[in-house]
Every structure is written in structure tokens, then in C-alpha cells.
Amino acid sequence: MINEKVIEIKNVSFQYDREIVLDHIHLSVSRGSFLGIVGPNGSGKSTLMKLILGLLRPDEGEILLFQEQQSKFKHWERIGFVSQKANSFNTGFPATVFEVVASGLTGKIGLFRFLRPKHKREIIQAIEQVGMIEFINRKIGELSGGQQQRVFIARAIVSRPEILILDEPTVGVDAKNVQSFYKILQSLKEQLGITLVMVSHDIDAILSEADHVVYLNKRVQFYGDVEEYKNVRGERFSLADHPDS
Ligand SMILES: Nc1ncnc2c1ncn2[C@@H]1O[C@H](COP(=O)(O)OP(=O)(O)OP(=O)(O)O)[C@@H](O)[C@H]1O
């Protein structure tokens, strides 16, 4: 389907206690696109990701995933999630790269089931896709931050999601590894057709990697093509809003 919407956020509002964090948000994500979400600290970016992932419920409005109402949506293996490394896993845990990536299949096969050859192949393939095959038996805690983050991508894609949501995935990853991280993202998009939604403070990375941009500050202040955003951002959004730009 041309321009198929895989995520639609319609008139969504959310508040924690008394603070309104998201105010009547409208946006949609087309299959195969790379949407970058930027905005100042505390502007509701992570909250919006949690709403998409069903970890929070909107107070108002609705979210559609693959054209289905989120409240009825059951196929969560179609959506992968990678967060900041520091928050996503206890890296002191003595699991190998293979075991960490295998844990991404538990939703599909049940926690204590034996892995069938098919699953082993899927795990190996995901590790190959992120260029970490030579580390397959290495303990996760013995890897660099950038390598760990690649393993977390493999864990997120092992169940073959159609959408990958990334919340500040390059925090704590050094510049050289950040580049190879984005190469992996682009190959997921181009070779597997995975739709990418990424929250980042790294505005330069968003401008060079994403094709669409949302500037969020409780409301959607900009939503459109990345080239259009480059033209308007100097005049419409103060640099003070971007501590890292
Ligand atoms: N669990 C919570 N309970 C109460 N308030 C919260 C909670 N989580 C976030 N908030 C508040 O909601 C607002 C939006 O937070 P959110 O984490 O979504 O912003 P963000 O844009 O991702 O911020 P940052 O760029 O700093 O990561 C902030 O004012 C924050 O303090």
C-alpha cells in the first residue's frame, strides 16, 4: 500500500498528576519512513514513545497501530524498542550476546521454552545484521557502549518488527560508534523496510539521517519533511531549546 500509515496519533493529550505533558497531538508515521522527534528537555518526547508502546494510556484522543485501535492491538512483536543503554539492561548481568538477543524472542516463544533451530537461525541473523557475529559468545558486560547498543538493536529486531522505536539510543556511545550505529539503522530501513521513529537530542544526526521531523514542545510545533525543517528551524525554534545543537 502506498503511503500506508503504521502509526496514527489523533488528538492525543496526556498529563501526569496535574501537569499537562502532551496537548492535543496529531501526527502519523508512514511505512518505511524515518521520523526524528526533537524538542527541549521535558517536552514530552519520551512520554509520547511510552504512549505509542502502550506503557501509558492517553487521557484523550486515540492511537492507531497498523490501522488498528491500540487498545485492541495484540501483535506487539511488530514493534521493537531500543532505549538508552543505561536504562534498558543490567549490563553486569552475566548473559552472552546470544542470550541477550534470544531474550528478544521470549514474547514470541515463551520464556522457558527451548529454542528451536529456526529461532537460533533468527538470533544469528539478527546478530549478523548488526555486525556483531564475532562477539556472539562474549558477555554483554565485556563490550563497549557502542557494541552493547548494537546488541540491543539485534534484540529489538530479532522478532522481525515492522517498526523500531528508539529513545535517545546513542547517549553514552562515542562518535565513531554513533556513525556505525546510524549505518545499521539505514540498512534496517533500506534492506528490511523497517519504519524508524527516533527521539534524539542530536539534531545534526536527525537532520542527516531522518526523512521527517517532529518538533515537540507539549504540542507539535513542527511536523514535516526534514528539508522543510532545515529551512524554518532557525527562525521558528530558538537554539536555546536545543541544548546540544
Ligand atoms: N512518571 C512521571 N511522573 C510525573 N511526571 C513525569 C513522569 N515522567 C515524566 N514526567 C514529566 O513529564 C514531562 C515530560 O517528560 P518526558 O520524559 O516525556 O520529556 P522528554 O521530552 O523526553 O525529556 P528529555 O529530553 O529531558 O528526556 C517532564 O516535565 C517530566 O518531568
Least confident of 14-18, 101-105, 174-178: 174-178
Check the CA dihedral 76-81-87-93 and report its sign: positive
In this prediction, residue 239 carries a pLDDT of: 42
Cell of 211: 526523512
Please report the atom of ligand 1 found closest to the CA of residue 199.
22
Please give the backbone phi and psi of residue 181, each rounded to the nearest 5 degrees, phi first: -60, -45
CB contact set of 241 (below 8 Å; sequence gap of 6+) = 39, 40, 217
Share of the chain above pLDDT 90, in %: 59
C-alpha 18 – ligand 1 centre gap (Å): 13
Q: CA 149 to CA 244: how far, in whole Å?
A: 21
Mean pLDDT of the chain: 87
Within 6 Å (CB) of ligand 1, which residues are found? 16-17, 21, 39, 41-47
Cell of 91: 549490563
ipTM score of complex: 0.97
Q: CA 83 to CA 68: how far, in whole Å?
A: 25
Q: Pick the residue with more confidence: 109 or 240?
A: 109
Q: CA 81 to CA 226: how far, in whole Å?
A: 23
Cell of 29: 508515521
Q: 9 pLDDT exceeds 50? A: yes
Q: 240 pLDDT exceeds 50? A: no
Mean pLDDT of 186-201: 93
Check if the beta carbon of residue 84 is closer than 8 Å to that of residue 148.
no
Place of cell 555486525: 131
pLDDT digits (tens, 9 = 90+) for 23-78: 999 999 999 999 999 999 999 999 999 999 999 999 999 999 999 999 999 998 89
Q: CA 7 to CA 162: how far, in whole Å?
A: 11
In this prediction, residue 243 carries a pLDDT of: 44
**Angle at which helices 145-157 and 117-129 cross, to 10°:** 140
Go through the domains of the chain in sequence order and give each one's CATH number: 5-241 (3.40.50.300)
In this prediction, residue 62 carries a pLDDT of: 96
C-alpha 22 – ligand 1 centre gap (Å): 10
Q: Pick the residue with more confidence: 86 or 183?
A: 183
Q: 16 pLDDT exceeds 90? A: yes
What residue's CA is closest to ligand 1, atom 28? 42
What residue's CA is closest to ligand 1, atom 9? 47
pLDDT digits (tens, 9 = 90+) for 118-150: 889 999 999 999 999 999 999 998 888 888 889
